[in-house]
A and B are shown apart, each in its own frame.
Chain A
Amino acid sequence: MACISPDGKPTESGTKMLRAIESGMGAAEEIASSAGLPLFRVKSGLRELTQAGLANLKDDKYELSSKGAELLDSLST
């Protein structure tokens, strides 16, 4: 897993992607630009984040799930 470590915590790139989604970036291209990551890594990472229940795809836009929001809150504190 490139975005989520074996201990279940997001990696640096995973956190960047979640922060980008939190700030309203919904398309993979927007997330890649905001997070400063290659588009292919973001597309792959978004699959991981949605499979882990941290993000959802709705109407072709990615949104943070409540689990993803809680995770980001816990990283901030």
Chain B
Amino acid sequence: MEEVKEQLISLPRLGERAPAFEAVTTQGMLKLEDFEGRWLILFSHPADFTPVCTTEFIAFAEIFPELQKRDVDLLGLSVDSVSSHIAWVRNVEEKTKVKIPFPIIADLNKEVSLAYGMIHPGQSKTETVRCVFIIDPNQIIRTILYYPLTTGRNMDEILRIIDALQTTDKNAVATPANWRPGDMVVVPSPNTQEMAEERLKQGYECVDWYLCKKKL
């Protein structure tokens, strides 16, 4: 019966408001609304005390200062108890000297996991897959990444996406493939023939009217 219910819950989509929650974490009871006004990376991992997850937590802790510079908070999640989370992060600190500075949701009743579509029964019926939800200061979902249980996430790509989203919001532009901060950005496509003709006179670097780039 529970399996049927899980299948009927729709997954959140880009551009939609992030599902609200109130959850037990390693830093107390937190609500999604507590993060309003700042960017939030909500990510899930399969389980505490597992090897790939441990490497990811160390990697998230390493990019934490860069995320803070960008006004981004981090919030982890797995279907483990808060005692397990506390024991795990203490163990990570003891063995690797890396302190985990962000809170982790103890989603034992799977309320948050199911609301965010983090459990993929084809991979595991009990563990969350490696999801990343990038939520903007208005609590709109801006990026969703899913990784399988066996593949650890790429922190450079997560930082790159944050930089791209913040650049897009600030300058009303888009970013091309493999864009990095400092690279040229894509000028939004023109909507009319007149705009297309004007576009070619504006000093942009254009392949043609529909693909123009500029320096910021």
Residue of B with least CB distance to A39: B38
* Majority DSSP secondary structure for residues of B touching A: mixed
Q: List residues of B (117-164) whose CB comes within 8 Å of A's CBs.
A: none
Q: With the chains together, A41 CA to B34 CA distance in Å?
A: 8
The answer to whether A38 touches B73 (Cβ under 8 A) is: yes
On whether the beta carbons of B37 and A2 are closer than 8 Å, the reply is: no
Chain B 27-51 interface mask (CB, 8 Å, partner A; 1/0): 1111101110110000000000000
Bound-state Cα–Cα, A41 to B103, Å: 9
A41's closest neighbor in chain B, by CB? B27
Does A57 interact with chain B (Cβ within 8 Å)?
A: no
Query: B35 to chain A: which residues have CB within 8 Å?
Result: 40
Q: Say if the beta carbon of A52 comes within 8 Å of chain B.
A: no
Bound-state CA distance A48–B192 (Å) is 55
A44 touches B38 (CB 8 A): no
A11 to B36, CA, bound (A): 25
Instruction: Indicate with 1 or 0, residue by residue over B7-45, a CB within 8 angstroms of chain A CB atoms.
Output: 000000000000000000001111101110110000000
Q: Of A1, A3, A43, which is within 8 A of B34 by CB? A: A43
CB-based contact B28/A3 at 8 Å: yes
How far is B25's CA from A2's CA once the two chains are assembled, in angstroms? 9
A39-B38, A40-B34 known; A45+B28 contact, CB < 8 A: yes
CA distance A45 to B29 in the complex (A): 9
Mark B residues whose CB is within 8 Å of A. Answer: 27-31, 33-35, 37-38, 73, 103
